[in-house]
Structure 1
């Protein structure tokens, strides 16, 4: 399971442009830039005559794990509201295509047709103040994108995601359920911090204290997305995992409603709820001797509601619906 470090910025690439008066009848040339990091591949192409940019094309490939999303549906709930703001603008076209584990975006701006007043306030747009015309300086645009870690590309030598990176599924509830919890401080069958570190890498946060019994207690956290909206945290006694929490605020479900919520009755199996509703927004679990306790939280952004299910020994015992 590959993880990505935090990075600032949104999925829709920063459209970094400057406006200057310049015009030429010289043949149109292409200049390419790329920024490749944190689960996102951004490719920017300027089409220009001399120093005047005539149009601009951006292609993005972003792994769902970089959004803190686990599938197409949860990625759509993150990206579609942003994409909607780019629709219906003359001289600008933008489209997102959703794959199984990643999304592709293409955005094109034709500066001979677009009205800058229609686009300057869109997410990620950057224009100099006081602009009155669609004259974009290629030279100054290149200077600015380089400041934002874009690298110039020649001979089409772009960096690419590996096949494994494009097909590897984000950390899922199945992975979470595979973490075995200790029933007591002397349980030797539980998952260890060393095993999680081997799978996820070095923890992003670690806190250790000495327990009253002399056994070391620990808290460990791994970020599962660069925006830190998805993370796994565990508490330990010695090296054994006692409790676990999976949080992914980028994961939201459209298919859950009050009617579906009401149909899931007490006694329903933990696995049956997941089968019915899919990946949860949040999951927690701990054990006390022979009894296990768990919660599953599902968020619906459209209705702005959380649906929370409580389990004992993998059986639903209660549930709660609330606004957030």
Structure 2
């Protein structure tokens, strides 16, 4: 399943860009989108200070037909198979899935100041350059990896819409 690989790839690459360091700077935000017409719309909102990400919010809209489904029940099964329910109940993480007639909308928000990186590491691979415990996610490397995945930076809220 190509969609499963894309979603897994986004999470894996995000986890792979964790670095150990600290920085102070003005808080900024940026948006990225991976749009596949007729299948999915994955949007990432990132808040960061310097190179340190403080918030990652991912909203994935997936048409049921993109994974061979055609109903809300198929969507629930898809989320369960993807391990989506594992995100529930962890401090610093909010996770919600809304099932519409033809699509599901999954929203996962990670407060990277509050989250326990040991718990987060159970959900996605967290690696550091020096092998030490991850303390934050690198904005610079996350941006580079998102671009390698084909994600586009979105300016002025001009997202493509899934129809």
Query: Does the alignment reach a TM-score above 0.5?
Result: yes
Determine the C-alpha separation between the residues in 1 that align with 2:67 and 2:113: 34
Q: Secondary structure at the match of 1:43?
A: strand
Question: What is the Cα deviation at residue 8 of structure 1?
Answer: 5.4
The 3 A distance-change label for structure 1 pair 43 and 13 is: farther
The 3 A distance-change label for structure 1 pair 43 and 62 is: same
| Greater relative contact order, per chain length (Cα 8 Å cut-off, separation 6+) | 2
Alpha carbons 1:13, 1:42 under 8 Å: kept: no
Q: Which has the higher helix share?
A: 2
Alpha carbons 1:43, 1:58 under 8 Å: kept: yes
Q: Secondary structure at the match of 1:29?
A: strand
2:56 is the alignment partner of 1:56: yes
Determine the C-alpha separation between the residues in 2 that align with 1:65 and 1:80: 17
Q: Which residue of 2 aligns with 1:19?
A: 19
Q: Over alpha carbons, which structure has the higher Rg? A: 1
Determine the C-alpha separation between the residues in 2 that align with 1:98 and 1:7: 18
Q: List aligned pairs for 1:217-296, cutoff 5 A.
A: none
Unaligned regions of 5+ residues in structure 1, if any?
163-324
What is the count of residue pairs matched by the alignment? 155
Q: Please list the CA deviations of residues 178-233 of structure 1 after superposition, one character each: whole Å capped at 9, or x if unmatched.
A: xxxxxxxxxxxxxxxxxxxxxxxxxxxxxxxxxxxxxxxxxxxxxxxxxxxxxxxx
Unaligned regions of 5+ residues in structure 2, if any?
none
Determine the C-alpha separation between the residues in 2 that align with 1:14 and 1:23: 25
The 3 A distance-change label for structure 1 pair 94 and 11 is: same
Alpha carbons 1:94, 1:105 under 8 Å: kept: yes
Determine the C-alpha separation between the residues in 2 that align with 1:11 and 1:66: 13
Name the TM-score, length of structure 2 as normaliser. Answer: 0.85
Q: Which residue of 2 aligns with 1:41?
A: 41
Question: What is the Cα deviation at residue 116 of structure 1?
Answer: 1.6
Question: What is the Cα deviation at residue 7 of structure 1?
Answer: 4.8
Aligned-residue Cα RMSD (Å) equals 2.1
Structure 1 segments of 4 or more deviating over 6 A? none
Name the TM-score, length of structure 1 as normaliser. Answer: 0.44
Q: Secondary structure at the match of 2:162?
A: coil
Q: Which residue of 2 aligns with 1:90?
A: 91
